[in-house]
Structure 1
Amino acid sequence: MEQGTFTADGCSVEVYRLLPPGDEPGIVHAAVPAGASILELGSGAGRVTHALLELGHPVVAVDDSPEMLAHVRAGTVCSKIEDLRLGRLFDVVLLGSHLVNTASEADRAAFLATARAHVAPGGRVLVEWHPPEWFDSVRDGQGGRLGEVDVRLGQVVRDGDLLSAVVRYSAGTRWWSQAFTCRRLDLQALKAALTSADLAFERWHTEDRTWFSASPE
């Protein structure tokens, strides 16, 4: 049965506590200087945060869910990404979880503006996104196992550049579901969004081109 505490956008706090950190901390660590300070936008329950701390990075974790942040063992700020203005700069601003693929153009601009406002001169913004080819490959039933959690996509619907689906998480007898919609961006549209935020595309950080960095212009 579906159970537990959910955030305003439908994320299960329990699921995010169960999910392992995966490859993300290693990707971030390899892309930035040793000991670089990191502002993590949309940290959730600290799945990536805690691994970055163990790798020697001071992290400030930002999320708009106090229920998520209650499980984070780092400095935290409860705020919507688009509203955040801390008045301090970081070596690295992390925008993971494919947030840049939000369906809303205004939200994407606001997320990137927040990242730009907090990155130090000579620093970088690290972004995880769904590249265009991902949208072509998504199918009902697609998924896999992440730690003890089985993750499957269903109800996939395409509408122009938009893709909507429901992700179902299960662990033992427990299950949770979350609907989402994301927007396909080609490289030209991505770079235009970065330019509008006074950021410049820098380079890819994974072979599958799901992670890239941008620098302040």
Structure 2
Amino acid sequence: MGSRTRPGYAGTGPGAITPDGCAVDLYARLPAGDEPDIVAAAVPAGARILELGCGVGRVTHPLLERGFVVTAVDESQEMLDHVRGARTVCSPIESLDLGEDFDAVMLASLLVHAGDEEVRRGLLKTCVRHLADGGCVLIQREGERRFSAPGEGKPHPLGFTQRVLSSQPLGGGVYSVHVQYEFPDATWTQTYVRRELTQEQFEQALGEVGLRVERYLTEDRTWVRAVPAPAGQAARP
């Protein structure tokens, strides 16, 4: 997998590691959380959903159980091998072009915080490219929460501890982050690059690709329902 690793991204631990440093076996252990409920409340019943960066199907499977039709996309075939019941597509998100429209496009897992601005634009352009008339884009962002400080450990109910080992500033609001996930029987690490986005910067990034925030779906503003901006509406400076 080393030759496919994205610059600035890496991972260690048992099992396959994806190009962005995610450990497949780690993600197979993680629960869906409240994401399926947030999505289900924001889109019509039975909607056709394009899930970008689906991973092992943590959110895919609960959405299928709720009656949605999901096309699940990931650049790691090892991740997609865990997905059941959905159409799967193995592809980098930025270059995806299925020639189809969907009622909703999901960009979760904080992918909008990609360190490379061109990558971020590519991700958002893919969302717009696949959006049906009247459709929406559901985006997960860091919102108002404070990013964990290095050395801070967060015990999880599932019995593991997530710890930020380091967060090195690279300039321009970009950081190289090194995170550890420690279970009783295994330890994984991931190094990735993240870009801070204030609410204003986030909304401007949407405007650059012709989207606008229709509403924030959670109190902490970590989930967003975005829709196409009116024709001619410019992004805020």
**TM-score band w.r.t. shorter chain:** over 0.9
* Cα distance in 2 between the residues matched to 1:173 and 1:152: 16
Tell me the equivalent position of 1:178.
190
Amino acid at match of 2:203: K
Amino acid at match of 1:116: V
1:140-167 Cα shifts (integer Å, max 9, x gaps): 2242315344322221234451233222
Q: Which has the higher helix share?
A: 1
The reply on whether 1:204 has 2:229 as its aligned counterpart is: no
For residue 73 of structure 2, the aligned residue among 62, 77, 88 is 62
Q: Structure 2 regions of 5+ residues with no counterpart?
A: 1-11, 230-237
Amino acid at match of 1:105: E
Q: Structure 1 regions of 5+ residues with no counterpart?
A: none
C-alpha contact (below 8 Å) 2:153/2:161 kept by paired residues:
no
The reply on whether 1:141 has 2:184 as its aligned counterpart is: no
C-alpha contact (below 8 Å) 2:71/2:88 kept by paired residues:
yes
* Cα distance in 1 between the residues matched to 2:64 and 2:102: 15
Helix, strand or coil at the partner of 2:28: helix
Helix, strand or coil at the partner of 1:134: coil
Gap change, CA 1:138 and 1:206, over 3 Å in 2:
farther
Alignment of 1:1-217 (within 5 A): 2-73=13-84, 74-131=86-143, 133-135=145-147, 138-145=149-156, 147-158=158-169, 159-217=171-229
1:15-37 Cα shifts (integer Å, max 9, x gaps): 01111111111111111111111
C-alpha contact (below 8 Å) 2:32/2:58 kept by paired residues:
yes
* Cα distance in 2 between the residues matched to 1:153 and 1:55: 34
1:126-153 Cα shifts (integer Å, max 9, x gaps): 0001126524x64422423153443222
TM value normalised by structure 2: 0.86
* Cα distance in 2 between the residues matched to 1:83 and 1:146: 37
Length, aligned pairs only: 216
Higher alpha-carbon deviation: 50-59 or 137-146: 137-146
C-alpha contact (below 8 Å) 1:18/1:149 kept by paired residues:
no
| Aligned-residue RMSD, C-alpha | 1.7
